[in-house]
Structure 1
Amino acid sequence: METLKGKIAVVTGGNSGIGYATAKELKQQGATVVITGRRKEAIETAAAELGVTGIVADQGNLNAIENLADNVKAQFGTVDILFINAGILHGTSIEQATEEVFDQVIDVNFKGAYFTLSRFIPVLKDGASVIFLSSNTASMSVANSSIYSSSKAALNAIMKIAAIELAPRKIRVNAVSPGPIETEILHKQGYDEEQLKGVKAWIVDRVPLRHMGKASDVGKMVAQLSGDAASFVTGAELVMDGGMSL
């Protein structure tokens, strides 16, 4: 069903994982989709595979964000769906944290997401839908996740305030907070195959539904929040973690 036909959607970090799956779902539902990412080759490859528009933009750089908003406005006029998905994951204890790691995570996950919303507000169509990718860790206390969890908790606060500020324009702002999702991000943590199996088993043991989620699950939720079926939903955090945070 093309429930999003005629809508313009922007997905940051759309070249892999949840962003890629969401871009695919939005396109299948009829939207015209723009994906962004830092790596030119990755964006070009993903855009070609998906049949969408790809724009190179680093969410950790304010000038790049502003150029992206200008570029999208010039090409498409207004935006109906903005999925602020780009983010990075880095675990460290508070004692061993470095300023470099702190700045990397906060610049992309918090500052970058904040200014992506800020600079896209003039481009958003009245009645548009904005979705932040948050995380169930925003409301959980897990060792070695203080910087990442803080960045996502900050997003949830922004989301609620933005929902109030943008309500006069009928723009809805929500957040999706996944738990463990089966994406390539785990493979980037340096585990060998045996370690990876152990990590996945450890995660699944903490999920009441006894399995990890799929990127497509999140994509379907973002599409749902983007359509008319969610026209009365704003300022909400939708937790998708198989009961992990219960």
Structure 2
Amino acid sequence: MTRFNNHTVLVTGGSSGIGLAAAKAYANEGARVVITGRDEEALARAQAEIGHGAIALRNDTGSIAEAKRLATALQEKDLQLDAIFINAGVAKFAPLSDVAEALWDATFDANVKGPYFQIQALTPLLRPGAAIVINGSINAHIGMPNSSVYAASKAALISLAKTLSAELLPRGARVNVVSPGPIATPLYGKLGMDKATLDATASAIQGQIPLGRFGTPEELASTVLHLSAKESAFIVGSELIVDGGMSNL
């Protein structure tokens, strides 16, 4: 398929996991892809994997200054955007009794403040008919213990998609959310658990998924591309949940 021929697409947090899968999928359908991330080595590897003239830019999603710097970098390359996948973020979990202000601030900076001001800074670069897809989470809906701060940050993003849709529609831009359930990505190896604890946690989560397995980054990427393409032009301010039925229990 070539749904994104002559399109330029930005994927934040595009050097691994869901972001990298989406970047590859966009490129395979004809898009020129720009990815961002914080790790220059990971960005270089991802850029090579994506191919198709992909551009990699180091950027920290939690900073307003970095949001402006990203917009400036794209302007300097004379790039306008047909789609944005706001994917970069952090997932930190702790029980209420252990949550410190630093965890709250780090989570909301990366998951809410950064994306909000990235969208603000990038809006002038949107072409008519552009699509913005925000990576949410089913944690905003299911009340999982130890996820209060993370879940609240994702709920804020889902709310933003609705209000920003109303604001950006006059520019011809749509905003929607894809909310994944458990997806098999490197994220699960970054939770600070030893292997035995991580395996037990993954097994417990898998037992809550009606399909009986974790999703794949490629499965989520296909939904991201659907929300970015012209075929979804009548989907505005909506959330698509991709969780194998987990949130229906």
Q: Quick check: TM above 0.5?
A: yes
Q: Report the Cα distance in structure 2 between the residues aligned to 1:199 and 1:139, rounded to whole angstroms.
A: 20
Which of these residues, 208, 223, 244, is aligned with residue 225 of structure 2? 223
Q: Is the 8 A contact 2:8 2:79 kept in 1?
A: no
Secondary structure at the residue paired with 1:130?
Answer: strand
Please report how far the alpha carbon of residue 192 of structure 1 lies from its aligned counterpart in structure 2 after TM superposition. 3.4
Identify the range of structure 1 (20-29 vs 36-45) with the bigger mean alpha-carbon deviation.
36-45
Could you tell me which runs of 5 or more consecutive residues in structure 2 were left unpaired when the two chains were aligned.
none
RMSD: 1.0
Q: Amino acid of the residue matched to residue 147 of structure 1? A: V
Which of these residues, 128, 131, 138, is aligned with residue 129 of structure 1? 131
Could you tell me which runs of 5 or more consecutive residues in structure 1 were left unpaired when the two chains were aligned.
none
Aligned to 2:41: 41
Aligned to 1:94: 96
Q: Report the Cα distance in structure 2 between the residues aligned to 1:5 and 1:182, rounded to whole angstroms.
A: 29
Q: Amino acid of the residue matched to residue 49 of structure 2? A: E
Q: Report the Cα distance in structure 2 between the residues aligned to 1:179 and 1:106, rounded to whole angstroms.
A: 20
Which of these residues, 232, 240, 243, is aligned with residue 241 of structure 1? 243
Aligned to 1:80: 82
Which of these residues, 184, 204, 207, is aligned with residue 206 of structure 2? 204
Please report how far the alpha carbon of residue 187 of structure 1 lies from its aligned counterpart in structure 2 after TM superposition. 1.2
Give a deviation string over 1:19-78, Cα, whole Å, max 9, x none: 000000000011100000111221122112212110000001111110101111221431
Q: Aligned ranges for residues 103-142 of structure 1 at < 5 Å?
A: 103-142=105-144
Q: Structure 1 vs Structure 2: percent identity of aligned residues?
A: 38
Give a deviation string over 1:130-159, Cα, whole Å, max 9, x none: 000000011121111111000000001110
Q: Amino acid of the residue matched to residue 36 of structure 1? A: T
Q: Report the Cα distance in structure 2 between the residues aligned to 1:186 and 1:76, rounded to whole angstroms.
A: 37
The TM-score with structure 1 as length reference comes to 0.97
Report how many residues are paired.
246
Q: Is the 8 A contact 2:11 2:34 kept in 1?
A: yes
The TM-score with structure 2 as length reference comes to 0.96
Please report how far the alpha carbon of residue 193 of structure 1 lies from its aligned counterpart in structure 2 after TM superposition. 3.4
Q: Amino acid of the residue matched to residue 97 of structure 1? A: V
Q: Is the 8 A contact 1:82 1:130 kept in 2?
A: yes
Q: Aligned ranges for residues 14-33 of structure 1 at < 5 Å?
A: 14-33=14-33
Q: Amino acid of the residue matched to residue 93 of structure 1? A: P
